[in-house]
Every structure is written in C-alpha cells, then in structure tokens.
Amino acid sequence: MKKIFYILLALQMSAVMLFAASDIGKTLQAKMLYPLPSSIVMNAYRYLGSLKHFSVDAVTTNDDYFKKEMIATFTHHVHIDLQRPGKLHIDVAGDLKNRSFYLNDGHFVIYDEDLDYYGVLQEPKEIDTALDALFDKYDIKTPLANILYSDLYKRIPPKNKGYYFGTSEVDGKLCHHIGFSSEVEEIQFWIETGIRPLILKFIVIDKTHKYLPRSGTILRWNLHPKFNEKTFAFTPLEKTIRISIEPYIKGEK
C-alpha cells in the first residue's frame, strides 16, 4: 500500500509540475508574442536620448479646418541636425510654412523664408532647457520636439495600457506596431525592432474634434552625420530684416 501511495504521490506531483511548467510556458510565449507596448515606446525614448548626434528627414501630414467647412491635409518636409549638448538646426518646408531654426550653444535664431525676417534670442545652452524656455516664454514650438529631448522618457508618464498590433515594415525595416488610446487622442507608433529602436513612423488622431483630424509622420534617420560650424549658424542676407521676439503672455490671442 505504501508503494502504491508513493507512486500516486509522485504522479500527482509530476502532474502539478507539468501544469506549472505549462502555465509558465504560456506566460513566456505570450510575452514573446505580445511585447509590452509601454516598454517598447519608453525604450525608444531612452535610446533617442542617448544619441549624441543625428540627422533625420521627416515628411509630416496634418489635417486642419478649411474655412470651417471641411478638413484639408497639408504636407511639410522637415530636416533636423542635432549635436548634443547644445547644437540644433531645423528646416521646415511645405504647404503652410517655410522656416528655419538654429540653436548654437544658447544663441537661437528663427528665420521665416516667406517673409524674409529673422529673430534672435539668448537661451540656455543645452537643447532640453532651451526648448523648454522657447515654449514657456515665447510659445515657439519646434517641429518634432519630442524626438529632440534627451530625457523624454522622464517627462512622459509611463502608459499603463497599450495595444500590440504585431510587426510590419517601414522603408524595408521591421517594426513593432503599437498603439495607445485616451479620452483626447489615439496614437500609433512603428518602432524598429532590434538594437536600435528608432521611431520610424507615428500617427496621432485628435479625438476632441468631431472630424477626428489626424497627423502622420515618417522619419528617415542618419546616425552618422557629418557636421561643420556652418550647419548650426545662420548668416542673414543684407535685405533680410531682423525683428524682435516678444515674450508670450498667456491668455492673449
């Protein structure tokens, strides 16, 4: 009887271990098949923040109201050169604006090609603090600012809920396709798999408007750019007009 008892006990323990192993296997398989979307996007932000220099070319499309009657889509091409800690150059060309931004160790210039005027400010030397000052003091928004910060992963709270749609290709590169939804917006990312988790594409849908306007961006990265001092310096023509930039007063239109 004891022998039978021990045999039954051994079989029962084996079954428990098999079930436990099966559960662990399913959990691991689920994690492998469905990575955590919040971890993917935060890892991308950390990686971008670790890059000391890069160039990126982007194509952006944005929906806007046209005469309050319909949604019209406008396209812009953006080129960015960045060298930490304090050098940044952005060119924007497209349907609605043609502007350039220069930040060279605290010396900031904004140039409007259509109006042929420029303004100069003295700002903090590092890119992160300069961008904060430009937004807070002057309401100057730089294109694709989210990819310029070195500490964006600290500024944006972790997203608790997200969706993993699988993998797909952007410009021939395999990407994680993930999405997040809130009461005010939906956003989707395509983030390159592997050792360089670059954001290659994203789409934002504004849920606060009934027409659900959206913006989309495709990015092409160069992690080994060649810069010189002229890259980050603005030299105006004789006819180009210098204007003053006044601080932004909240509440004024």
Q: What is the pLDDT of residue 165?
A: 96
Q: What is the pLDDT of residue 161?
A: 79
Question: Going by DSSP bridges, is the β-strand pair 53-66/117-122 parallel, antiparallel, or unpaired?
Answer: unpaired
Q: What is the pLDDT of residue 19?
A: 43
Examine residue 13 and state whether it is found in any structural domain, yes or no.
no
Q: What is the pLDDT of residue 89?
A: 98
Examine residue 26 and state whether it is found in any structural domain, yes or no.
no
Q: What is the pLDDT of residues 62-79, one digit of tens each?
A: 999 888 788 999 999 999
Q: What is the pLDDT of residues 208-244, one digit of tens each?
A: 888 888 999 999 999 999 999 899 999 999 999 999 9
Find the CATH number of the domain harbouring 209.
Answer: 2.50.20.10
Q: What is the pLDDT of residue 103?
A: 97
How far apart (Å, rounded) are the C-alpha atoms in residues 62 and 217? 9
Examine residue 130 and state whether it is found in any structural domain, yes or no.
yes
How far apart (Å, rounded) are the C-alpha atoms in residues 199 and 148? 12
Examine residue 15 and state whether it is found in any structural domain, yes or no.
no
Range of the domain at 201: 37-243
Q: What is the pLDDT of residue 211?
A: 81
Single pTM value for the model: 0.83
Examine residue 184 and state whether it is found in any structural domain, yes or no.
yes
Examine residue 75 and state whether it is found in any structural domain, yes or no.
yes
Distances (CA, A) of 188 to 173, 200, 205, 245: 17, 11, 9, 35
Examine residue 170 and state whether it is found in any structural domain, yes or no.
yes
**Domain count along the chain:** 1
Q: How crowded is residue 125: how many other Cβ atoms within 10 Å of its Cβ?
A: 15
Cα 194 from chain centroid (whole Å)? 18
Phi, psi of 87 (to 5 degrees): -120, 130
Tens digit of pLDDT per residue, the chain (253 long)? 444 444 444 445 444 444 444 454 444 444 456 789 999 999 999 999 999 999 999 999 999 988 878 899 999 999 999 999 999 999 999 999 999 999 999 999 999 999 999 999 999 999 999 999 999 999 988 889 989 999 988 888 766 679 999 999 999 999 999 999 988 899 999 999 999 999 999 999 999 888 888 999 999 999 999 999 899 999 999 999 999 999 987 665 5
b/e sequence 168-183, b meaning 16+ C-beta within 10 Å: eebeebebbbbbbeee
How far apart (Å, rounded) are the C-alpha atoms in residues 140 and 6? 77
Contact 123, 106 (CB under 8 A): yes
Whose tokens are 């956003």? That residue is 187
Beta strand segments in the chain, E: 53-66, 70-83, 87-94, 98-104, 107-112, 117-122, 163-170, 173-181, 185-192, 199-206, 214-222, 241-243
Examine residue 226 and state whether it is found in any structural domain, yes or no.
yes
